[in-house]
Structure 1
Amino acid sequence: MSEQHPESTPGPTPAEADVDHPLTGALVNGGNAPGRRRAARKRRHLPGCLAILVALAVLAGGAWWAADKGVDALSGLLGDSADDYPGPGTGQVTIEVEPGDTAAEIGRTLADEDVVASVDAFISVANANPESANIQVGLYEMRHQMAAADALDVLTDPSNRISNALTIPEGLRVDDVVSRLAKGTDYTEKQFRKALKNPDIGLPRYAGGDPEGYLFPATYDIGPREKPVDIVTGMVDRWWQASQEHELESRAGQVSEGYTPQEIMTVASLVQSEGKTPADMAKIARVIYNRIENPSVEGTGGRLQIDATVDYALDRPLTVGLTQEERETTDSPYNTFLYAGLPPGPINSPGDAAIEAALNPTQGDWYYYVTVDLASGETKFAENGEEFDDYVAELRDWQAENCTGDEGDVC
């Protein structure tokens, strides 16, 4: 819809002025609605005194006309009997309710598409129905020339929203995210990969154009009008929301000896791959910082020695059966057995718990951790190599008892 010039834009009707409040309603992904925002509507307002005089003149004229006609026409002048279609309507039309839309704006959209006969008719039924405040952002299939009350019934029933809920779990790599997006939409992996290269999707500067780690894991409500670039932009927007909620920018430098936001996101991705619970994640984060900041302790040389980084370097799914040869010979800056410190960037998309763990690690002197029960995820933390060896032996005992090679075996 093109923006009207102020000279030609009608002012709000009395009914519009009464109900011109934003309607609340949120998408699962935090309010990223499909489609583009309509151009802002401009209104002209009469000066206060003149507006009162005009209103009085309208009321006086209306009362005279009503008395002359012998009918109660004054209420009609005020919009109580606004034009309305009898319904039920014909054909099909897709209507979009956008974030921040007021009842009047929704009414204008419906009237513009000939869904309702007038804005006043829609506002009148919206005023009378408290459910109108619960209209959700999104797209709706409606008919032309519906009764205003029927149109409102469609909009107040969330099941009428055109949506495609798609869940992206924590810990997925970009390749896995792209695969899920392609399977859950009508677009191809190639189209999503192209979209991820678009500089306008909103990645933070320190990501260096690499979306790994910044496609936030959540459930997204994907509208039929959304293109691949809209979808991935929504995922990055959701990451920005999480970043602000965790105060990533300000808290990063306060962690231990001080880290950058990108380093915190890298740590978060590591603990996402290694930890099963928020408590374990916070301890694993501490192990990572202890090794980086005290490279001479326990002879680690600052190497993190995390299997998931080698799997990432090899571009294969996370495995339990990484060989020692692969740890020692995979030549990649992501191989934390060969190279000290953090890898160049995140290795997956961490969720809220992992980000918070990276920002708020548990205090402790641990340098090792071992998952001693692969079924439950029970993890034990060690301060020295001797204690670590005991936990490794505990893991081996568990494997000897539980690793049968049968289908569904977690070993």
Structure 2
Amino acid sequence: MSAVSGPEDYEGQGTGEVIVMIHDGDIGSDIATTLHAQGVTKSFDAFYDLLLKKASTHVFQPGAYKLASGMSAQAALDALIDPANKLEQTVVIPEGTVAADVYQLISEGTSIPLDEVQAAAADVASFGLPSEATTLEGFLFPATYTFSPGIGAHDALATMVNRQFQALDSAGVAQADRWKTIVLASLIQKEAGLRDDYYKVSRVFLNRLEPALWESGLLQSDATVAYGTGNTHRVSTTDAEREDASNAYNTYVHPGLPIGPISNPGDLAIDAALHPADGPWLFFVTWNLDTGETIFSSTVEEHDAAVAKWLAWMDEHPEYQ
């Protein structure tokens, strides 16, 4: 049916407002993925196939664009190439974005060169962070920002840092507890999927920090290992990476929380760090990568069964391998 009628597509201009970021170097498939993931278009193919049918090649400028939910592929394309929909001095930071990518997003959404943003970020002591911080990681609050024309790199970063301080204050976090809260929240942000699971993931990690429940004290988070290798866009790791003691973020080797944040968490992850669910869980595995459904277990046997369920699902979905 798809071959005859074409890919699934919405009709019309859509409703509401969705801010979409196009990044430097994005090609048609990247943009099609972004539009579908944010609910702008009904399918990846709807937008991508439309691009392939166009005789001319569109050059999309990096930055933030105002679109809508449920747009037809043609409406979305028209909106992206209409300069009136490009939001000047606007930066969208999704939850879980790492600092290096935040710097890139600031540069793409403003007129500030990337090297200036990176240089400003290197002056960590000027932002009022906890004494343990050696970078801005974890303290760049994920949100949509619209900056005044001519803003400098330091002021743009300070806006994000101060917004994270505001989030912590609103959550009731004392200044003395900012560091450990952000470290745990950054881990939850990377590992959790569905909203309710944030609180269960928080409990799993806190249970693993309790010697009576988990003697080794090893969190065994692939997300921390991947962060330490520099592969910040994935959470899967290899056996060699999990055995590498030289990786200071390797929680398969080093007990306790990682030495620093591994992402920039939002309000939900912060709340989960402060208010974990009650439960005996020591393990979790996301067995359905389409829906994000996750199984939480308190015994090795239960966890092994959950892993088997995930592996069976993966066998049925080779596109994820």
Matches within 5 A, 1:6-405: 163-198=88-123, 201-249=126-174, 260-294=177-211, 297=213, 301-319=216-234, 321-329=236-244, 331-403=246-318
Distance in 2, Cα, partners of 1:234 & 1:200: 15
Alpha-carbon shift at residue 363 of structure 1 (Å): 0.6
Show structure 1 runs of 4+ deviating over 6 A: none
Q: Secondary structure at the match of 1:297?
A: coil
- Once the two structures are aligned, what percentage of the paired residues are identical? 36
Distance in 2, Cα, partners of 1:345 & 1:279: 25
Alpha-carbon shift at residue 395 of structure 1 (Å): 0.2
Distance in 1, Cα, partners of 2:265 & 2:96: 5
Output one character per residue of 1:193-239: Cα deviation in whole Å (capped at 9) or x when no partner: 11113357533233434211001100001121211111001001111
CA contact under 8 A between 1:369 and 1:380: conserved in structure 2?
yes
Alpha-carbon shift at residue 332 of structure 1 (Å): 1.7
TM-score by length of 1: 0.54
Distance in 2, Cα, partners of 1:221 & 1:373: 36
Output one character per residue of 1:364-401: Cα deviation in whole Å (capped at 9) or x when no partner: 00000000011111111000100000000000000000
Distance in 2, Cα, partners of 1:306 & 1:351: 19
2:13 is matched with: none
Distance in 1, Cα, partners of 2:206 & 2:234: 24
Distance in 2, Cα, partners of 1:334 & 1:208: 14
Distance in 2, Cα, partners of 1:228 & 1:360: 35
Distance in 2, Cα, partners of 1:343 & 1:363: 23
1:74 is matched with: none
Change (3 A) 1:391 1:249: same
Pair member with larger Rg? 1
Distance in 2, Cα, partners of 1:287 & 1:361: 9
TM-score by length of 2: 0.69
Output one character per residue of 1:172-205: Cα deviation in whole Å (capped at 9) or x when no partner: 1111111111122222221011111335753323
Distance in 2, Cα, partners of 1:356 & 1:275: 13
Q: Secondary structure at the match of 2:189?
A: helix
Q: Secondary structure at the match of 1:283?
A: helix
CA contact under 8 A between 2:89 and 2:146: conserved in structure 1?
yes
Superposed CA RMSD in Å reads: 2.0
Unaligned runs of 5+ in 2: 1-83
Distance in 2, Cα, partners of 1:210 & 1:353: 22
Unaligned runs of 5+ in 1: 1-158, 253-259, 404-408
Q: Secondary structure at the match of 1:371?
A: strand
Q: Secondary structure at the match of 1:293?
A: coil
Change (3 A) 1:187 1:290: same
Alpha-carbon shift at residue 163 of structure 1 (Å): 4.8
Distance in 1, Cα, partners of 2:213 & 2:199: 20
Alpha-carbon shift at residue 329 of structure 1 (Å): 2.3
Q: Secondary structure at the match of 1:194?
A: helix
